[in-house]
Chains A and B, each alone.
Chain A
Amino acid sequence: MRGDIEPDRVTVHGEEPWVSDVAFIGLTIVVFAVLALVVRGVEHLVGPVAGSDRADPPDARGAGGAGGTGGVDGAGTRCARQVAR
């Protein structure tokens, strides 16, 4: 129906060697590693992101200001606001 099922061929679930598990776990990790590399590539494409990934110091958050307002989300989390330049 959705995936292909051949009702007259029951899949035999024997004890698979652990090599298959290592292979598919490895495949999963490789695919996500590729995605992480794509993220790195897109970061270069988009341009440098200001600052580091550490959290902003407390006085840069919730200081109010015009940045980020507009629509409902503008009144959202306090960290979205920055001091207006």
Chain B
Amino acid sequence: MSTAAAGFLQGGLLVVALAAAYRPLGDYMAHVFTTDRHWRVERGIYRLIGVDAAAEARWPTYLRSLLAFSVVSVLFLYGFQRVQAHLPLSLGFPGVKPDQAFDTAASFATNTNWQSYSGESTMGHLVQMAGLAVQNFGSAAVGIAVVITLIRGFTRSRTDRIGNFWVDLVRGVCRLLLPIAVVFALVLIAGGVVDNFSAGHAVRTLAGARQVVPGGPVASQEVIKELGTNGGGFYNANSAHPFENPNPVTNWLEIFLLLVISFALPRTFGRMVGDARQGYAVVTVMAVIWIASVAGVTFFESGHHSAAALAAGGAYEGKEVRFGIPASALFTASTTLTSTGAVNNAHDSLTPLGGGIALLDMMLGEIAPGGTGSGLYGILVLAIVTVFVAGLMVGRTPEYLQKKLQAREIKLASLYILTTPALVLIGTGVAMALPGERAAVLNPGPHGLSEVLYAFTSASNNNGSAFAGLSVNTVWYNGALGVVMVLGRFMPMIFVLALAGSLARQRRVPAGAGTLPTHRPLFIGMLLGVVLIVVALTYFPAQALGPLAEGLH
């Protein structure tokens, strides 16, 4: 079978699997977050933390609960890393240094999982399991809670109650993430992913040298790394490591896991608003962007634009031979469009335009399909802007899902859209302006700018992948990227939850003759246009100076 045929087969099977999971998983998630019944274990948790599960909150209270949970998560994970040397299963590693501990704690609590460290030589098994993996569940559940709350804003009327954060969080973990994670962890183990408490096995290499091969509880972390669109790998090589991703089957499965919840959430949205066509419209936009990205990265990586690429049959530098170019391109596009950030190949070794697409995927705001929860609420905010633009064209007050979009809603949507580009561009500008930090760029020219731009784009959009060649394990970068990750995660959430509160207070407006249908091809096309124009053009100058300059040279 040719490489191209294998690539089409993998991609085709992935589309079929995601389509098959769309309805059952989407409907299940809708049920999870709308049912009145609490499980016994959930009631126990509510009693333990002193929460009245029946009480719902207004949006500021919901948000403050979310921020309180997150700040405690960051501080706990920071402390956990700092005292690692005194904990069991530390494998003899000392405490993580303060700046790196801060960066890692902020990273995992914000679903970014940016790793300025090498897992197998820095973190003991207990910190990996009880610190990092636990945050993987928590941060993913937080994202889902926020999007469910936004959907409630559309479905409710004349109320200022938008939900109970603790109920949403616990249900997200107990009913959604944990059960799926347990099942697929076993599948990954069957596929060859390691899961043990071994500190390492000493082996003799073919050349006669001695090498320690580290083990660890990898599969249990691997599954939530993908499922929760986290991305933080047990090993430094992430999903390029044979213990995390041994073969093409596990590679396909990991791509499926990192896409499945985000692609099913539009169905949940459609079910909850009472019109499945709304979900189909949103998922169509996501799918078009995803397919275009996969095609683009595959095209550029398969090109023969250098002697090495010509000899090898494609840009194989930084790729794993067991995956090849199509599977690597599929993983790259999927991971950068979903805020996962896991990698099965070296992104710094991507061709300039292939890497430019990976960068653009993150710059789009990671909405196709985006992170667990964050992707859907991102695209819904863009849908609000689209309806607003359409309303301007025809001189009508814009309405979306029977709610009027007035000045307040548009201000909140605009603030949402402006937040991450501000963090990206200001952060990159400051990093390039400071001589000391500019020296951290190891590659000259446009690629050096691309590396810094990629770092701040990844941090702001909570992706976590990186180009190499940038010395980010410094106090400045660890601190700056940590701050950017926290602001890039929670500032947008503030605007989304305020939007939910504002929408929930409105009366429902019956659709009229002049209401723009938001399930038809016209709206889908307009939404695609808004995504590209509003979001992508924000970054065009930066793209022109980095990847485009390098690629078109």
Contact = CB atoms under 8 A, between A and B. Distances in A.
Interface in A44-85: 45-47, 49-51, 53, 55, 61, 67-68, 70-80, 82, 85
Contact of B494 (A35, A47, A61, A74): A35
Given A55-B55, A79-B56, A73 B236 contact: no
Interface in B144-177: 151-152, 155-161, 163-164
B185 interface: no
A46 B64 contact: no
10 contacts: A1-B236, A2-B115, A28-B75, A35-B486, A36-B67, A43-B60, A46-B498, A47-B408, A76-B152, A80-B159
Nearest to A17: B98
A82 B158 contact: yes
B67 A35 contact: yes
Interface residues of A, number: 53
A2 B159 contact: no
B98 A38 contact: no
B160 A50 contact: yes
> Lowest 5 A-B CB distances belong to which pairs?
A71-B274, A20-B98, A13-B94, A3-B116, A68-B156
A22 to B, nearest CB: 9
Given A27-B483, A29-B71, A39 B96 contact: no
Contacts of A39: 60, 63-64, 67, 494
B102 interface: yes
Contacts of B157: 67-68, 70
Contacts of A38: 491, 494
Contact of A45 (B59, B343, B408): B408
A13 B57 CA distance: 44
Interface in A4-21: 4-7, 10-11, 13-14, 16, 20-21
Contacts of B473: 3-6, 11
Interface in B493-514: 494-495, 498, 501-502, 504-505, 508
Given A11-B122, A46-B498, A80-B156, 19 more contacts: A2-B115, A2-B233, A4-B466, A13-B94, A14-B97, A16-B97, A21-B82, A27-B102, A39-B67, A67-B159, A68-B504, A71-B155, A71-B271, A72-B31, A73-B151, A73-B155, A73-B272, A76-B152, A79-B55
